Structure 1
Amino acid sequence: MKTTAVNPRSSRGISNYALYSEAQSADDPEFIHIEDIRSRARLFDWTINIHVHPRMYQLIYVRTGHVRIHIDGEEFTEQAPCIITIPPSVVHGFEFGRENTDGSVITVSQLVLLDEQFQRDFPFGDELLRKAQVLSLRQHPDDTHFIEQIITQMEEEYRDNRTGKKQMFEWLLYSLLLKVGRRVHASHRPRDEDHYERLYRQLVQRVEHHYREHKPATFYAEQLHTTTTSLNRACASVSGKNVSELLHDRLTLEAQRMLIYSSVPVSLIAYDLGFADPAYFSRFFKRRTGVSPSNFRELRDRG
């Protein structure tokens, strides 16, 4: 099975990639792919350029060496051993050290993670899907040993065709996600959510699906069976903003991503983000950032 560019330059101008270009047999684990970093990275001179997987979740386990990570405009370097989690639609890229870098890349269709039973039973779904994570394992040898064993078993199951392959592979994947979820949870040390924090989290999830539609606060209130007053209080409690500011922040973030990672004309970005008038989009963007879209792109190109 190989990774293939599908519509490699999307309408938004960021490279989109999908897996599963070859037909799967009935015994293959559905919607899951695993490969070693070295085999993939060597094909691209150890640099995986900026791209996005719209419907796929990735776990990158760096066993040895180091990696320079690019996630949504931020860049930093991490030494092995470490785990990197990339939720669907997060812009990312990697520059792996040539000398001794090795590890594994596990790619899972978001359909697996959005499955109703998985969502009901898995305790760390929101934490793993909310944003990308870079987790150092250098101070956690027990976790590293567990992850190493699980991934080794996953690779063996993936290569072989023993009876129960699909079920065993899914069990191993679930165990791996649980271990990574625990590490994410421990690194954040969150306290129990109160009512407003829960409502805010649910709102953010809805916004992610509808922000291009420019829905009003009343739409989200109806979706969450609450009032706009409660939504505004939840936003103020967690982020210090109101619902409108949250919606505008999400549109602005997506506009910045597209301006940074693509050469798509500003007018097309405006239409893609649901603005009927590119001039209005430019005024909106300038109010939020202090510069016009064109100037923002020029400043990033110079930097």
Structure 2
Amino acid sequence: MVVKTEEIRVLTLEDFESPDLGFFITSLQSYNQHYCSLFSLPNQRRFYMIIFLEDQAGRFVVDQSSTQIHKGEVLSVSPTSVCTFEIDKQAKGWMVLFTDAFFSKRYNDNVLYDFSFLKSNSVCKQLEYTEDMPRWRMMMDAMYDEFKRSGADSRTILRSYLNIVLGIMERHNGIAVDAPYNREKESKVRLFEQLLEQYYKRERFPSFYAEKLNISTNYLNRICKERRSRSVGEIIRDRILMEAERLLYHTFKTVSEISFELGFDSSSYFITFFKKKHGLSPEEFRKTQR
């Protein structure tokens, strides 16, 4: 059943009574006791989230897709997605939350973006049956102990542990890390995507983002096609469409309200935009999601 709300809540690490680290880890037992209500309604987050189930199962709705994860599997959820989830009350495992800024302080060049699975929501399956499982459990325990210790050097140590954990997940995703000569272009595209998250409701023209990045519109378009297989305009339109789908799926807002929130001059223009991409009006799309 679809859970709907008036507004999609935005969570930060402050909601978890976390020290000012940009990092938080808790056992799933503690999560079920203290924090599960935060995720019972549709939410977005200002942090990355990794959930590891040692046993039992969990049901997750991420954007419009329902995902079941089982014993020994790991779920990675990107900050911009909208999700709700329920984890078995008896489940054992870990929840790790961290911000972009926390990880990037470890490196001059933010290699966080080299982890392909963090670019979207993904489930790392079959970890239970690999030689990495004992190492994974050890790293979870070590991160938790260091987090609770809260020493002067804990930030540095936690970043190192996290880097190993992300590396293990990347290994089981089976996608090669970009070669160094691609990193500059990937970094530019990621900066564009970050700007898009800030401005997509107001700024629709590629030239705006190119100017912010101090590059030409043609160059931005070229590297987006190379790195994302889509033009800048397509990426902008797809981001607007994704938010429209989320609001239609997760909230009670009217088409007119959604149109206004997304910066359209009129609801009729929004309906035309949506129907061109989906072949359905916004209301027709909403009915298909019930």
Aligned-residue identity in percent: 23
Pick one of 165, 180, 188 that aligns with 2:165: 180
2:131 equivalent to 1:141: yes
Give 2:168's aligned amino acid. R
Q: CA deviation at 1:86?
A: 2.2
Q: CA deviation at 1:243?
A: 2.0
Q: CA deviation at 1:36?
A: 1.6
> Structure 2: how far apart are the matches of 1:57 and 1:120?
20
Mapping 1:244-255, distance limit 5 Å: 244-255=233-244
* Range moving further from structure 2, 146-155 or 281-290: 146-155
Q: Is the 8 A contact 1:266 1:294 kept in 2?
A: yes
Pick one of 83, 87, 92 that aligns with 1:102: 92
Relative contact order, higher structure (CA 8 A, sep 6+): 2
Pick one of 278, 281, 284 that aligns with 2:273: 284
2:250 is matched with 261
Q: Is the 8 A contact 1:41 1:47 kept in 2?
A: no
Pick one of 265, 270, 294 that aligns with 2:283: 294
Q: CA deviation at 1:110?
A: 4.5
Gaps (5+ residues) in structure 1?
1-7
1:151 is matched with 140
1:243 is matched with 232
Q: CA deviation at 1:272?
A: 1.4
Q: Give the TM-score of the pair, scaled to structure 1.
A: 0.78
Mapping 1:1-303, distance limit 5 Å: 13-20=7-14, 28=19, 30-41=21-32, 48-97=39-88, 101-113=91-103, 117-118=105-106, 120=108, 122-125=110-113, 127=115, 129-136=118-125, 137-142=127-132, 144-160=133-149, 165-168=151-154, 170-186=155-171, 187=173, 188-192=175-179, 194=182, 199-301=188-290
Change (3 A) 1:172 1:67: farther
**Residues 84-122 of structure 1: per-residue CA shift (max 9 Å, x gap):** 222323212333345x52111122344424x5x345255
* Range moving further from structure 2, 228-237 or 72-81: 228-237
Change (3 A) 1:166 1:79: farther
> Structure 2: how far apart are the matches of 1:155 and 1:196?
36
**Residues 137-190 of structure 1: per-residue CA shift (max 9 Å, x gap):** 124333x22232222233334445xxx62523x234213321233234332124
Change (3 A) 1:46 1:138: farther
* Range moving further from structure 2, 227-236 or 255-264: 227-236
Q: CA deviation at 1:34?
A: 2.6
Q: Give the TM-score of the pair, scaled to structure 2.
A: 0.81
Give 1:246's aligned amino acid. I
> Structure 1: how far apart are the matches of 2:159 and 2:101?
14
Q: CA deviation at 1:55?
A: 1.5
SS of the residue 1:165 aligns to = coil
**Residues 205-236 of structure 1: per-residue CA shift (max 9 Å, x gap):** 33233211224111222223322222333333
Task: Tell me how many residue pairs correspond in the alignment.
Answer: 281
Change (3 A) 1:182 1:102: same
SS of the residue 1:288 aligns to = helix
> Structure 2: how far apart are the matches of 1:241 and 1:67?
34
SS of the residue 1:213 aligns to = coil
